[in-house]
Amino acid sequence: MHSRQSLIEIFSTFIEFRSDRFNRWVVDPRLRRNFEQHQDQLANTEPSEDFWSLYWHSRWKKQPDDIALGHLAAYLQEAWYWSAQRSMRMLSRTSYRLSDCFQLANIDLAKVLAGYDPRRGASLKGYARIVYASLIRDTLRQRQEADICTVWTLLRRVSKQRMVEAWRNAGLSPTAIAQYRLAWVCYKTLYGAAKAHNRKLRAPDREQWIAIANLYNAERLMQLSEPGAVLTPADLEQRLAQCAAWVREYMYPTVQSLNVPSPNREVGELQDELSDSLQSSLINAIIELEDGQQRQMQQAHINTVLIAAIGKLTPDNQAMLHLYYGDGLTQVQIAQQLDIKQYTVSRRLTRTRENLLRALIAWAKTMHISPSPDLITNMSVALEEWLTVHHRNQS
C-alpha cells in the first residue's frame, strides 16, 4: 500500500480492496470539495496534518456531523489497515478476511473518537492504531464465540453491559428494557447455570419454560414499576430468542455510507451538509494549534528519553523490540526465531515495556506532571505508538 502525500488526499480518500488486498485510493468528491473550501480560508498559512486532524476531531466532538466524521474516517484509513493486518496475524485461525477486519474498525469509529483526548499527548492516528488493534481482536473473538453458540448458550454467556447495549441499539424504551432484563435474569437463574460452558446448550423443555414464566410473573409485580401483562412460556421463549437476535445484530451492525441520500431532502447527500460557521471554527482551530506546537516540543523530549532508555537495554531485548514492533512478528514467531519459549518472549516484552514506561513517568515528574492512573494509561498507549513508529522507521 503506497502512502498518501497531499493533505487533500489524506482527508478525502478511502482504501479500495480487490481480492482482499489494497487496490487503490478512491477520492470522495464531496469531502474533497469541502476540504478545499476550508483550505481556501487559510490561504496565507500552511496548517499541518496534525492541525487538520485536531480541527476535525474538535469540530466532531463539539457538534457531531457526518462531514467531520467523513474526514476523520479518511484520515484514519492507514490506522485501520495496519491494525487489521496485525490482528489477522495474531488471530491466524480466524475465518475473517483482511477487508472484514478493516470494516470492523469503521464500525467503532465514533467510539474511538469519543475516547481520544489530545491533551494526553498521543496523536489521533497513533491512539487509533493501538485502540483499533485491541477492538478488532476482541470483536473477532466475540463473533467467533457467537457464531458457534446456540441461542440459549449465547444468552447465558453475554455480559450484562453488552445485553443492555443491544437493547438500546434496538431502540427499546427504558420500560421495555426493564421487562426484557427481568425475563433474561429469570432465564439465567433457572436454566443452564451448570452447563454454561456448553456451546450447544439446548432450549429449555416445557416444564422449565413454565418455571421461568412463573418466576417472571411473580417478580415483575415486585421489581418493575410498570409490570406489564402476564407472559406465557411461549411469550418468554419468543422474547428471549429476540434478545439473542438483538445481540447478534448489535455485534454485526450495518455501516451507513456517507453517500446515502440526506433525510428530508429531494437531492443531495449527507456529505453536502457543510457548516455555515467555517471562518469562525477555523480561527478557533488556529488558537488550538498553539497547544499542538507545545506537544511537539514535549514529543522531542520524549524521543530523547525513550531512545536513551532503549540504549540501556540488553542487545537481546533491543532485538526483541525490533522484531515485535518493527517487523510485526507475533510472540510465537519471535519465540521460534530466537529458539525460546513463547512465555519467555511475553515476559521479557512486558518487563521491557514496563522499564520504558518508568522512564516516561520519571520524565513526567521532572516536568512537574503528576502521574495519575489515567495519565499512566495514556502514556502506555503513547509508548506503544512510539515504539511502533520508531522501529518501523529503522526497518
> What architecture is domain 281-395?
Orthogonal Bundle (1.10)
pLDDT at 341 over 80: yes
Local structure of 25: helix, strand or coil: strand
- The whole-angstrom distance between residue 72's C-alpha and the CA centroid of its chain comes to 14
CB 250 within 8 A of CB 169: yes
pLDDT above 70 as % of the chain: 75
Q: Name the band, by pLDDT with cuts 50, 70 and 90, for residue 197.
A: low
Per residue in 248-268, pLDDT (tens digit) is: 777 665 433 333 334 444 444
Of the candidates 168, 90, 193, the residue with the CA atom closest to the CA atom of residue 134: 90
Contact residues for 152 (Cβ-Cβ < 8 A; gap 6+):
191, 192, 201, 202, 203, 204, 244
* Cα–Cα distance list, 253 to 4, 74, 105, 156, 256 (Å): 29, 20, 12, 22, 9
Mean pLDDT of the chain: 78
What pLDDT score was predicted for residue 144?
Answer: 59
The answer for 70, left when phi > 0, alpha when psi is -120 to 50, beta otherwise, is alpha
Per residue in 365-383, pLDDT (tens digit) is: 776 666 666 667 667 767 7
Per residue in 343-354, pLDDT (tens digit) is: 888 888 888 988
Per residue in 199-216, pLDDT (tens digit) is: 567 888 999 999 999 999
Per residue in 288-299, pLDDT (tens digit) is: 444 455 555 666
pLDDT above 90 as % of the chain: 24
pLDDT at 287 over 60: no
What pLDDT score was predicted for residue 84?
Answer: 83
What pLDDT score was predicted for residue 276?
Answer: 33
Please give the average per-residue pLDDT across 220-228, as a whole number: 90
What pLDDT score was predicted for residue 95?
Answer: 62
Please give the average per-residue pLDDT across 216-233, as a whole number: 92
Per residue in 122-164, pLDDT (tens digit) is: 788 888 877 777 777 667 666 655 555 678 888 888 888 888 9
Round to whole Å and give the CA distance between 222 and 208.
Answer: 22
What pLDDT score was predicted for residue 8?
Answer: 92
Residues 258, 264, 270, CA angle at the centre, nearest 5°? 15
Per residue in 9-66, pLDDT (tens digit) is: 999 999 988 888 888 999 999 999 999 988 888 766 678 888 999 999 999 998 888 8
CB 104 within 8 A of CB 135: yes
Q: What is the DSSP letter of 340?
A: S
pLDDT at 69 over 60: yes
Beta bridge partners of 25: 15
Q: Name the band, by pLDDT with cuts 50, 70 and 90, for residue 195.
A: low
What pLDDT score was predicted for residue 369?
Answer: 65
**Can you give the residue ranges of every domain in the chain?**
1-147, 151-251, 281-395
Local structure of 16: helix, strand or coil: strand
pLDDT at 355 over 60: yes
Q: Residue 49: is it exposed, middle or buried by C-beta count within 10 angstroms (0-12/13-18/19+)?
A: middle
Task: For residue 24, give the H/E element and its range.
Answer: strand 21-27
With b for 16 or more beta-carbon neighbours within 10 A and e for fewer, the 148-158 pattern comes to ebebbbbbbbb
With b for 16 or more beta-carbon neighbours within 10 A and e for fewer, the 222-259 pattern comes to eeeeebeeebebeebbebbeebbebbbebbeeeeeebe
What pLDDT score was predicted for residue 370?
Answer: 67
pLDDT at 198 over 60: no
pLDDT at 119 over 70: yes
The alpha carbon torsion through 115, 121, 124, 127 (nearest 10 deg) reads -70
CB 157 within 8 A of CB 110: no
What pLDDT score was predicted for residue 48?
Answer: 87
What pLDDT score was predicted for residue 299?
Answer: 65
